[in-house]
Structure formats: structure tokens, C-alpha cells
Amino acid sequence: MKIIHVVRQFSPSVGGLEDSVLSLAFEQRAMGIDAQVITLNTVFNREGVLPPRESIRGIPVSRVPWCGSTRYPLAPSVIAHIGGADLIHVHAIDFFFDFFALTKFLIRKPLVVSTHGGFFHSGAYAKLKKLWFATLTRASIRAYAKVVACSQNDADIFADVAKGRLITIENGINQSKFSDAASKTPVRTLISFGRFSPHKRLDRLFDLLAALKKQNPEWRLIVAGRPAEQSVSDLEKIAERAGVQDAVKFVAEPSDEELRDALSAASWFASFSDHEGFGLAAVEAMSAGLVPVLSGIAPFRRLVGKTGAGLLLEENDMAGLAAKIETCQRDTEAMVVGRSSAIAGARNYDWKDVARRYVNIYNEVLHIPMISSERVS
């Protein structure tokens, strides 16, 4: 079975979407599926053109040129790279999603799409997005045999436009990448990692740090990730305005090894994002043994409710949240329990199981019997 995964950004780009497709394709190839990736030939906000073909962790990757905006990059030449595919798996609701729907009568291949949060990651252009979703997205989605919501939040969003074809498969994580990496002894250090974008609300991290330092001046913060709409310089200025710049360390574009080293210096993970389809970074942090401190958005509430690990920001009460964190930090037994609960909670999200569930969807679409074993021919 040959599956083509189509995604706008892929390794060496770093982010939740990229990591999800990489892990899914990797596990599927381990199962015997010929999983390949087609993506754009540049990393957004980075100079240079990437090679047209490459193998990443054993996954064949083809890259295509594009033009237009990073919000909706146009890459019609993708159609020349899908020969021999049994099924095309599109990731995210963007140009590729609409283009394959429009050209389905030409390519004559079944289509599956994973939502990855849709395009509601921020409140920008909210009215236009709702109109686009209710019209073009609703029309395009009819071309897809299955619509896979990557979270319950996505399932709620797509329930009306994908009736009869919607299934929920929450993303997994690489269980070994950051396993047990957090500090073995409780330390007054938080870490946040991910893309530097306004909807991630990194400014709130500095507000929390300021509140924590009123509780105890030893508190520190590590901010790691890939500069995007915001740069390290932008964030340094925000930290300075909050009066905590001397207690913040920035780690730009870390490798997995560098990020693992940074996790080893922390006991807490913080994210106050305004929107997450799933919350991949939070689950990866939990696998390391970091206690999550999260905004009250629905995916994070479900994560804390499902795993029993972590704290939520309620009613924007940073002082109250800081007091809870400091109280927990002073209780060594509570920190040991919090660390072990985070690791145990992260085990609910395993890419091997996720990959198997996706292959069963492919088999259903292609009218092949379902699988129960780990290898598929």
C-alpha cells in the first residue's frame, strides 16, 4: 500500500504539524506501508530552498515550489508527484486540501484529510475564516472519503460540515524522544517550547514568571522554539517590560538533543495558548515528567481532566496560579507525585496505536480487511 502524505511544512521545519506527520509516516513505514511525504520546498520565515528529494528517518520526501502567502501557499505542481499512490492523505485545511478536492476527477485517487486544528489558530480574520469554512471548506470536504479530527475540539468544529465521514483520532507523541527528561529533583524553573507566534501568548509566560518571583525570587523560565511571527528580540522586549528579562533564557531552534537538555533543567511546563487543536507540546512535556501549567482552553481542560496532571489558569488569575505552583513546589512529595502522574498521563498517547488506526481507515476506504497486527503488506 502506497500512501502519500501531503503537508505544507515538514522537517527540517519544527512544529506540531510537522512532528505529527513525521511520526505517523515513520510508524506506518515500520508497519510495512510505503508512506511518503510531499511538502513545500522552503521553511517559512527561513531563507534558502530545500532539496527537491530527500530521505528523512527513512521516509521519502518530495518538495515542490510554491508562491503566494504562507497562510495559503499555492503549489499546483504537487499533482505531478502523486503517481502510484493508492491513497492521498492531506494534512490540514489549506491550499492542498482545496486543490485535491478540485482535481479529484483528474487524479482519481481516494482522499483522506486530518484536520490539525483547521485554520482557527488565532482570532485574526475571524469573520472571513467563518465564511470560508461555511462555503469553500464545506464544498471541498465532500471530496474526502474520511475526515479525521485530531482532537475533540476539531471534531466539534467539523461535526456539521463532515457529517457521516468524521472520525476522531487524537495525535500521539514519540514516547522515547523526551521520556523522563525533566529534572529528577524539584526546581523552580518552567519551560515552554513551540513556535513563537502571537496566538501562543508567550507574553503571559512573563506575567506568570513575575507573579512567581513575588512568591520566591529563585523562579526561572526557559523559552525554547522556532521564531515565526515573533522573534527572540520581540520576546526579549516583552520580558523586559514585565521586569523579568534577567530570569529568562531563550533557546532558538533547538535540536531534539538541545531541547532535552533544556527540559532536564526544569520541573514545570507552561503554555497559555489561545488555540490548540491538540496540544502536542504539552503532552511531550508531560512524557518528560514536567508538570503542565496551561490556559483554560477546551483541549487543555480535556488533557488535564483525562490525565489528572497539571494546573489550569482560571479567570486570568496569575497571582492565584502562581500561589498554587509555589505551594506545590514547596511540597516535595507533591512534586514527586506530579512528575510521575505527568509521565503516566502521556502514555495514553502512543503513535504506534495512532498509526494503526489510520491504516484501518485507509483499508476501509480502499475496501481492504481491517488489521489487528503491527505489520501491513
State the span(s) of the chain assigned CATH 3.40.50.2000: 2-172+350-365, 189-346
Q: Among 100, 83, 91, which Cα is nearest to 23's?
A: 91
- Give the H/E segment covering residue 241: helix 232-241
Report the alpha-carbon distance of residue 170 to residue 150 in Å, rounded: 5
Provide the grid cell at 289.
515528567
Strand order in the sheet with 53-56: 53-56, 59-64, 34-40, 2-6, 87-91, 111-114, 146-149, 166-168
The CATH number, out of the four listed (2.60.40.10, 3.40.50.2000, 1.10.3720.10, 3.30.559.10), of the domain defined by the range 189-346: 3.40.50.2000
Q: Where are the beta strands (DSSP E) in the chain?
A: 2-6, 34-40, 53-56, 59-64, 87-91, 111-114, 146-149, 166-168, 189-196, 220-227, 248-252, 268-271, 291-294, 311-312
Report the alpha-carbon distance of residue 3 to residue 1 in Å, rounded: 6
Helix (H, G, I), strand (E, B), or coil: what is residue 294? strand
Q: pLDDT of the chain along its 377 residues, tens only?
A: 999 999 999 999 988 899 899 999 999 999 999 999 999 999 998 899 999 999 999 999 999 999 999 989 999 999 999 999 999 999 999 999 999 999 999 999 999 999 998 765 445 556 777 888 889 999 999 999 999 999 888 899 999 999 899 999 988 988 888 999 999 999 999 999 998 999 999 999 999 999 999 999 999 999 999 898 999 999 999 999 999 999 999 999 999 999 999 999 999 999 999 988 778 899 999 999 999 999 999 889 989 999 999 999 999 999 999 999 999 999 999 999 999 999 999 998 989 999 999 999 999 999 987 655 444 43
User: Domain 2-172+350-365, what architecture?
Assistant: 3-Layer(aba) Sandwich (3.40)
Instruction: Please report where in the chains the cell 531541547 appears, as a residue.
Output: 259
